[in-house]
Structure 1
């Protein structure tokens, strides 16, 4: 390996900001969902196909190994490296759908759920449906041949592949969908194609091996290379394309893939059916294979006990036989009649087996969602209750259906014998595919030995005794590489080695994955999970949080923040020095650039809010400034007044000097001061007039009375010099007047703050005191919670909601207040233009996304919600103090809303950044409602 020469050349190829060589970021970026940890010597961010091609040429010339990474949700060690880790930038997230939706073209950076969202307009979806589909990317889905609960083998990547673009280790590009590209490749790589054809003939001449390959792929199987491609296709081009599926980045880079889509039936029913024994479950599964079912999931008794805390669990689960099992059955249909026919088939099939109990089939979406949340909750349930310092491992095997019950029984025996008492078994029973989840420590030699011996016995039992597959859908990785020959035998493994040697003769692509002659490869480079902080010790580093994190393209993601924090905690306990560089980078990349909105918690399978850790760190760092925070809190009315005065002066300066010029000057000042000064944006609001309202006590017997609490933000910020907005309280009071509602206000109307600004800086005690002051005032003015309270700013509503509910105060955010109380009291003239809708992270955390959408449907029926933007990253004042965060989070916004006339949201500060980075003006829902509504005629006549 000539790594230094490689480094010299790569700096001529890529800009320095996309070549990561410092240890802190290399460690942060190295983490993935597996239980392996390898520290790459270099992390490279690639933008284009030409860059990938050039990088591969360099890697081959200098013999530098390279590993590709998309989302890093793989579980078996496919996406870690101690050499070069090549990661994809956001430039790899384009997709294109053919007119009828039957074919979709996807770059490897597209998240699986985003593909399905785009296909939803056509009533279709991609075939693979892994449990990580909200986070995993197409590159990983195809490279691992991931499947899932519903796709089985019929709709996996291999069987839905129409063609792909790939870059081989020699840098050559082949597009199997392009006749000209194929023709050129047949000439330039004739020897390679001849070698593939020879492998096809070699396999076809071995009748026993052909039979073995056919048997293995009747099961779900991702162990080793896809030898079925050598039997299913005769053209070496087609064979090559299908060998890439499931190759885990060891044969080439998949630059684009075209997948045939499948129908996504809207009509659905689910049932949970209980059996006294697992053999009865297996008998039922065999019968269900013959009828029209969409999915059949098995949960053993231990799985049910692990999720006893979850709502919606059937009553029969609370007194369940130790050896029993449950089948969660999902049935779909193109219409209601088809659905009922399919349900009848299932019920007829089950009539001949000994059913212990059943919920019966339900078409209630709420119940169905509850059943499937229970199924999805099994893995995180084990992860959440594991001992600190252990990791959670999920293994993935498949048995022939006729041996499913035996496989479950023997797995349980092995788990008991090796003292994995917490382990559970569940899986995709229709395909004989089972997952077993257990917790494991890797910090002691005896624990590593226990895992080694356990896996050796599992491998022999599954692959040899029962003729199953060791990896059904999670890919071989480093985890199962030592057992590939055991499963497949010498002849098949020899073919796989030949495939690797033919396509990657220099062994530069992901060495050690799939093909690995080291029998102990699976117990090397094991990731420890040291205790760090109770807030994040439960993290399993799955990466589900990453797609919604606004800093994911700028600094670190929640998973990466936790990984480096754990490592720093480990070093501290081991008395190892933490370098000043690590400390400085952690302060900026992990703490300062975190929005701390906690949206990651909504995606985390074990409910971790990484923002809470960041706030805890900020509280410690800001302790010296506590006196200042207390002073500002005591004189908050004065502070709000100074803020309004400052905004008024700034508006004058913008008008005098020009808004853009003022922003440019503040940007220059920010550079000169090393990013220590805030950025003044052209969309920064001017001053608003605060509410002045008399101290009025509502009559407890009065009707049509509401309490309006205007946040300090909405009382301070009005229109900017660049827009035609009005102050939010002006719009709110106008709308309430049209709705003929009597409005009362908490006293004082100014100076009340929910404490959110102090909470964001880590001053939790001060924030709590201010919140209680607001709640005391709201309790009094609402006649002890009799009247509904309108809060006009989503972050403030979120800050108050939990405690308000405990006090019996009925507090509503703006979207839900409009939805519940105003839509039926006003005559609304909907906006005809296309409008951009941003659902703030604080609205999402309150569960108000559907409420926002219902209001948008009435106000602006032709609305769009930009993809890939869960949080705008403005985060109160981050848009001023860390404007790079806001810019990075919204970098894809402008092109997605270019056809829109304006935007709407429910947070005044978020709207500053949204307006800045979209080129549109973003209004509050109340401003749009005010413009588009008038007094409802019926109410007028009644009055």
Structure 2
């Protein structure tokens, strides 16, 4: 960067600091690389990344950029595929403060800020039986700002329910910082006066189109198809009022005309009942004829897959057997029909099948509403993209293109595409798509490491665009947006008149050309093969990553440091620079990555559940931690071999804390700890009143021939803290003889955390978790088997999270042996009182034991023996990441709802970020992960529940109410 450019960006930063906090202005090279990456195969590294909180900051930023002639680009979730969300100047991203929404007229409309995730919008509308029209495949990640700015659609959306057709009004910010609220008459009137030239320009363009019959006909033809190539020229045909035209031109404008700060949608019906069918035909031609026949029937989605697509998923678990025998010529349709009542649905399905039976069907699974079967069928469609991504060579990227043919050209278009793939040696390419709209996606792998590979891609694109736009009069982009990838071909599709119209639109809205330059309008005819993203080899654990960003919403560190995608981007660059001998650069990146990438990763694996190819970035982080902590392996081994002693030391520390808190008082301890933390550069963390007391209740092994049973008194707690602050732990557990006539037995494994930790000092409920669990089990009439050597047992999670895999494995094996013996070789179920320990043990154990976490065990074994009287109050429920990863979140919520009149599961908290001991060592991770929590706790709510003792410490701290195990709740409401 030249000195003048450097000075300009420094001046911009100084200007922005008057309005935006330093912490939200990023200029570190490593962060710029990581934050500047999106899902496309293009790389531009921004000079500055901003994270803005509100529209006032957007306006200030735009005015500042205009004053200094600096280009800027807006980004929502960064899931776009065509290069429209990358920048080599200023990249503007949105903080989580842009999540506002308002339901209007019983769900008939919804007002949304651009930071709302699409799936969340539908969640808000679900009680009203409504949803937003657009339904892109990335809806669980992409945000409303991106959905509207790209006119994203999806499988059921078609052209009738996309953003263009369902927008009611918008709030906009233009390049000069001016605002327009299209629903506000005063705002509209003011805008018409202050932006008279823009209004007049729009009116002239509308008249120009009206006077040009050829151009008008072309526009009407193009938009009977799905089309996101270029600007939404149909706005000039469909609307007369210039404000309506402006509003609809903003849809699909990809941030090149202005910023959408709010959008109000007219919603669509979300039918209660659905049924799906999978029909295989001998060839594509027959499948396409059926598509045409289905066009006017009651179907909501018709997904077509070619033979290569079906072969790519044939060997995946759960697939129908017949898929393996299909040849490459077949055409497959996945059909869905929806209705609000079952009778109507059945009639619709019968009508569809009557039509299909007129054609020769090779294989089929007829319409079903069975949830398991339906999920299996749609797993075929959803598994296509990962199937290609999983087998690509290291160093290549996955390219997803989408085009649209007139439906009458669909079969010929598929055949032409298949031949084109063969000509250019894309033998792995598959075709699938939304057949009712003639919208096809095709996926193939491409490397950009050599000039020959770049040329192959460029030549392929030249022929592809001719095939689609010229031969078949189709759309070069149906729903993924023009971006940089198709910008050189906009004129090819639209002709000189259409392209000139788009150039005029750009100049009217953005006369200085500073909004997202190079996107949609780009005079560089080779723009699509410039600035290509390298995908260097880094590690087998993450090399399959395509940087789509689907992982980001569930990552607890995404607002603090890096998301999983960003960790992989940065790690790839570190490995590339190391191989290139760029020592100073790689060392600088590695220094940043240590904290940003390694230290602040919770390593929970939630990212793997969202990743199309199942990448667990936490596994990479644990591997890297192994190298970092290798020197401490002897200490790790000592703690593992002397686990009881380690826990006693922890317990002693908690007792000392109790005494200090009682003697000195919480306020004085807080001041002292704050000073100590500052002196240690925060390596010693601040004290918190939520730090638990010491657990004074001890479980004692019952042995193979004995157990705790119903006839025994409830185990007592040792003397109170006031009598003996640091007295030794009581040994008061009662043993009972084994009764072979009783069949209700359970092996109880109290986690090391619950064995050591009691409750926070000010909690009215001071019983420890093992005491409560014991009480509940005895109440339900269960005999309790406590394994031998309980105080030495641990699942290995504390060691595994630090990368001590061998030590963790030894602890897991030791635990498995003890539980196998205690359960009499798997005869009795095993209850873990914390979910993370249960999850790890299920994954690590080889013996056939039934391992259950608290909610699962209560639902499966206890409820039938208990009488529940629900609390008539509101409670908070935190569903831990381990519970989510075991797909037990619905069960945990179900149990909570059985026990309380109202249960609130706070939004946007998938993981609390405590992550074993991160809450102690890296408390800022816990703070960032739980930032949305306190505002969601109602004033009348006084308690929360979870199923991980350590997580509950952070939850209590950041919510303002005490969190405990859900077993406390069940024990309180049951007899």
TM-score (ref. length: structure 1): 0.98
**After the TM superposition, which residues 499-648 of structure 1 pair with which residues of structure 2 at under 5 Å, given as runs?**
499-579=505-585, 580-648=587-655
Distance 1:747 1:213 in 2: 78
TM score, norm. by length of structure 2? 0.94
- Please report the RMSD computed on the Cα atoms of aligned residues, expressed in angstroms: 1.2
- 1:541-571 Cα deviation digits (max 9, x unpaired): 0000000000011000000000000000000
Pair 1:829-2:896 in alignment: no
1:773 to 814, 831, 842: 814
Report matched runs for 1:173-572 at 5 Å: 173-572=179-578
Distance between the aligned counterparts of 1:822 and 1:415, measured in 2?
A: 59
Q: Are residues 1:896 and 2:936 paired?
A: yes
Structure 2 counterpart of 1:662? 669
Partner of 1:841: 881
Aligned counterparts of 2:332 and 2:417: Cα–Cα separation in 1: 17
Once residues 5 and 893 of structure 1 are traced to their aligned partners in structure 2, the CA distance between those partners, rounded to angstroms, is: 37
1:715 to 755, 758, 767: 755
Distance 2:580 2:27 in 1: 25
Structure 2 equivalent of residue 651 of structure 1:
658
Q: Secondary structure at the match of 1:880?
A: helix
C-alpha distance in structure 1 between counterparts of 2:18 and 2:817, whole Å: 64
Corresponding position of 1:170 = 176
**Are the equivalent residues in 2 in contact too, given 1:275–1:326 (CA < 8 A)?**
yes
2:790 is the counterpart of 1:784 = no
- Is the contact made by 1:76 and 1:477 (CA closer than 8 Å) also made in structure 2? yes
Farther-moved stretch of structure 1 (276-285 vs 86-95)? 86-95
* Cα distance, 1:661 vs structure 2: 4.1
Question: Residue 761 in 1 paired to residue 802 in 2?
Answer: yes
Residue-by-residue CA offset, 1:385-432 (whole Å, 9 max, x unaligned):
100110000000000000000000000000011001111000111110
Distance, in Å, in 1 between the alignment partners of 2:15 and 2:759 is 52
Is 1:881 paired with 2:921?
A: yes
Moved more, 362-371 or 500-509: 362-371
Aligned to 1:794: 835
CA distance in 1, matches of 2:630, 2:621: 14
Tell me the CA shift for residue 251 of structure 1. Answer: 0.2
Residue in 2 that maps onto 1:677: 684
Cα deviation, 1:701-733, whole Å, max 9, x if unaligned, reads 751111111111111111111212321111111
Once the two structures are TM-superposed, the CA of residue 578 in structure 1 deviates from its matched residue by 4.2
Inter-partner Cα distance in structure 2 for 1:499 and 1:278: 40
Matching residue within 703, 713, 726 for 1:695: 703
Alignment of 1:928 with 2:969, yes or no, is: yes
Q: Which of 909, 934, 938 is the aligned partner of 1:869?
A: 909
Determine the C-alpha separation between the residues in 2 that align with 1:4 and 1:287: 62
Q: Which residue of 2 aligns with 1:915?
A: 956
Asked whether the equivalents of residues 315 and 324 of structure 2 are also in contact (C-alpha less than 8 Å), the reply is: no
Is residue 670–residue 686 contact of structure 2 (8 Å, CA) maintained in 1? yes
Q: CA deviation at 1:664?
A: 4.4
- 1:785 is paired with a residue whose SS is coil
Pick the aligned partner of 2:792 from 745, 751, 754.
Answer: 751
In structure 2, the partner of 1:124 is 130
Q: Is the 8 A contact 2:644 2:792 kept in 1?
A: yes
Structure 2 alignment gaps of length 5 or more: 707-737
Q: What secondary structure, in the 3-state scheme, does the structure 1 residue paired with 2:867 have? A: strand
Map 1:67-86; keep pairs closer than 5 Å.
67-86=73-92
* Aligned equivalent of 1:939: none
Corresponding residue for residue 735 of structure 1: 776
State the match for 1:860 in structure 2.
900
The question of whether the paired residues in 1 share the 8 Å contact of 2:9 and 2:47 is answered with no
Q: Secondary structure at the match of 1:628?
A: helix
Aligned length: 933
Tell me if the contact between 2:702 and 2:787 (Cα under 8 Å) persists in the aligned partners. Answer: no
Using the TM superposition, give the Cα deviation of residue 876 of structure 1 relative to its aligned residue in structure 2, in angstroms.
1.3
After TM superposition, give the deviation of residue 660 of structure 1 in Å: 4.6
Q: Is the 2:676–2:684 Cα contact (8 Å) retained in structure 1? A: yes
Residue number among 898, 905, 910 corresponding to 2:946 in the alignment? 905
Distance (Å, rounded) in 1 between the aligned partners of 2:937 and 2:755:
29
Alpha-carbon distance in 1 for matches of 2:47, 2:145? 23
Q: Name the CA distance, whole Å, in 2 between partners of 1:718 and 1:3.
A: 53
Given candidates 27, 32, 35, the residue that maps to 2:33 is 27
Is contact 1:679-1:883 (8 Å) kept? no
Distance in 2 between the 1:661 and 1:541 partners? 48
